[in-house]
Structure 1
Amino acid sequence: MAYFFFIDESGTDRQDSLYEVLCGVAIKDNDLWNIITQLKGFEEKLLGTRYSGIEREIKGKKFLKKKVFKQANFFEPIPEIERTRLAKECIENGSAATKKHMAALSQAKLEYVKKLLELCAQYRVKIFASISSETIRETDDEMNGLLRRDYVYAFEKIYYYLEDRKSDEQGIIVFDELEKSQSHVLVSQLENYFKKTSKGRQRSGLVIPEPFFVHSDLTTGIQIADLIAYIISWGLRLKGMTEVIRPELCEFVDLIKPLRYRTTRDIGDVPNMEIWSVTYVK
């Protein structure tokens, strides 16, 4: 038995995002296919067709940007059967789309995200995220290739989660594919971390150090991580985070909060310190 941890980033382009988010979602191996098939079913039921394809991908910036909310409000909620028909027509022939077509597609996109998050709760999916507003680097002197501190924090929380399971279940890390040279750099940094640091060596007992890299447009787990990372970046605020939120995302923030994992550890002289799986890295 194992847990897959699908990991993606949001806000790394630094164009308009206020925070960078490294987000992972934990899905038990025997739940993964059920989640995938149900989400594909939601696509067809709500959008009338598979949105994911050669030219399209389910991503936060496609399904949750401000324009989607604006277009969704062009009309009152459209009845589901009509909405699905109009959304399908809009996807297949966008050049002929009317204002109502765009409203239907936008309403369907938002409903899809809501259903996705409710499904995550149903299958007890847990989320792990490191949030930062500047470039964060690990400063362990014994490392040559330095693993960013947001990665270190994320792996720490993942390790605690697996440790609390008190079984032989291991964590399999799955990353959204980067540019090839970047992927090589990350693999090297991870190898250094898991081999050359005491905490890394300890955590390699539960987290398999060598990750898989996949295409996000072909991998449902990465799409889930991307959507949640986007919601965190624009809608979730922890202590010390002062940037404004997008209030229209509050409904989705309320749906991801229960997906966080809480545990306790004795840290230094502090017994039973409360630790959450979503952290603001200062």
Structure 2
Amino acid sequence: MSWALFIDESGQDQKHSPYEVLAGVAIEDRKIWPLIRQLSDAQQHFFGLRLYEAYGQEAKAKELLPRKTFRLAAQMPPIEPAQRTALAREILLDGTAVSKARLTALAQAKIAYCDFVLKLAHQHDAIAFATMAPQDAVRPPNDDAMRKDYAFLFERFYYFLNGTPGDPMGYLIFDELDKAKSHVLLGQVASYFIKTRNGRTRSRLIIPEPFFVHSDLTTLIQLTDIVAYVISWGLRLKGMNAESREELSPLVNRVKRLRFSRETEGGEKIWGFKHIQDLRPTGLKPA
């Protein structure tokens, strides 16, 4: 048995998002393909087609869950599911076929789909990890060292694996980046797992070399993207003072059900979500 950690980000453009979020969703290997198939079927159910057919790529959470989606969804009463799917399909296939009913149906379908995706992830025992950093968080001066949010994500993933019966192995799956960024990230991850004491310890259960995907597996990257977006815009921990979007509350509750938590023998609670003010590795902080 092994677990894959699908990793994605939200708010990395440092423009509009209140928090920069690095999220990971862990799925047990034997459940990956069944979950992908059910997510694909869900798109067919809610939209009448795969979102890839409509957008040419997996739809991002920022396209599914912006404020505009909720505003359009509320301009009419809930539409009966079969009719909602038909209307959503019509406007996805022909963007010029604009009508109030079609726009409303598509918006309602987007919200219902995201809610179902998170519910389905919980049914498949997915485990979520995340770090949230304010947009003005202090950052490393260069690309030599891995950022603190990645180190925290790997730490909590290791805690999860180490506390799971059988000590299963874990591997890392990132959304495909351009070659230069991928090369930088590969170097940072390798350096962390090979040159640091914590990294060497965690490489006992985490395969140090990550995978980059752009095929059907991006369905689960999309799931992680939804988790990251909902956290950035809707979930608030102690010390997170940025305004949250109330309309995302039902989805925030879904995400919370996925959050990793564990109690140590000493009674300390370990959580999988953390608010981080400084993204520099510990060794780069001033004394």
TM-score range for the pair, normalised by the shorter chain length: over 0.9
Q: For residue 201 of structure 1, give the secondary structure of its aligned residue in structure 2.
A: helix
Which residue identity is paired with 1:73?
Answer: A
Residue of structure 2 equivalent to 1:129: 130
Deviations 1:132-180 (A, max 9, x none): 11445579xxxx9211000000100000000001314111100011221
TM-score norm. by structure 2 comes to: 0.91
Residue of structure 2 equivalent to 1:83: 84
Which residue identity is paired with 2:190?
Answer: E
Q: For residue 117 of structure 1, give the secondary structure of its aligned residue in structure 2.
A: helix
Residue of structure 2 equivalent to 1:18: 18
TM-score norm. by structure 1 comes to: 0.93
Which runs of 4 or more aligned residues in structure 1 lie more than 3 Å from their structure 2 counterparts after TM superposition?
134-139
Q: For residue 267 of structure 2, give the secondary structure of its aligned residue in structure 1.
A: strand
Residue of structure 2 equivalent to 1:71: 72
Residue of structure 1 equivalent to 2:47: 47
Residue of structure 1 equivalent to 2:38: 38
Q: For residue 52 of structure 1, give the secondary structure of its aligned residue in structure 2.
A: helix
Paired residues in the alignment total: 275
- Residue 246 of structure 2 is aligned to residue 247 of structure 1: yes
What displacement does 1:264 show? 3.2
User: What RMSD in Å do the two structures reach over aligned CA positions?
Assistant: 1.9
Alignment check: 8 A CA contact 1:7 1:222 kept: yes
Q: For residue 269 of structure 2, give the secondary structure of its aligned residue in structure 1.
A: strand
Alignment check: 8 A CA contact 1:216 1:223 kept: no
Q: For residue 9 of structure 1, give the secondary structure of its aligned residue in structure 2.
A: strand
Change (3 A) 1:247 1:114: same
What displacement does 1:59 show? 1.4
Deviations 1:73-128 (A, max 9, x none): 12100011111110000100111121110100110111101111111111110101
Which residue identity is paired with 1:74?
Answer: Q
Change (3 A) 1:263 1:168: closer
Alignment check: 8 A CA contact 2:58 2:219 kept: no
- Residue 5 of structure 2 is aligned to residue 5 of structure 1: yes
What displacement does 1:14 show? 1.0
Distance in 1 between residues matched to 2:168 and 2:190, nearest whole Å: 21
Which residue identity is paired with 2:269?
Answer: E
> Structure 1: any 5+ residue segments left out of the alignment?
none
Alignment check: 8 A CA contact 1:137 1:147 kept: no
> Structure 2: any 5+ residue segments left out of the alignment?
278-287
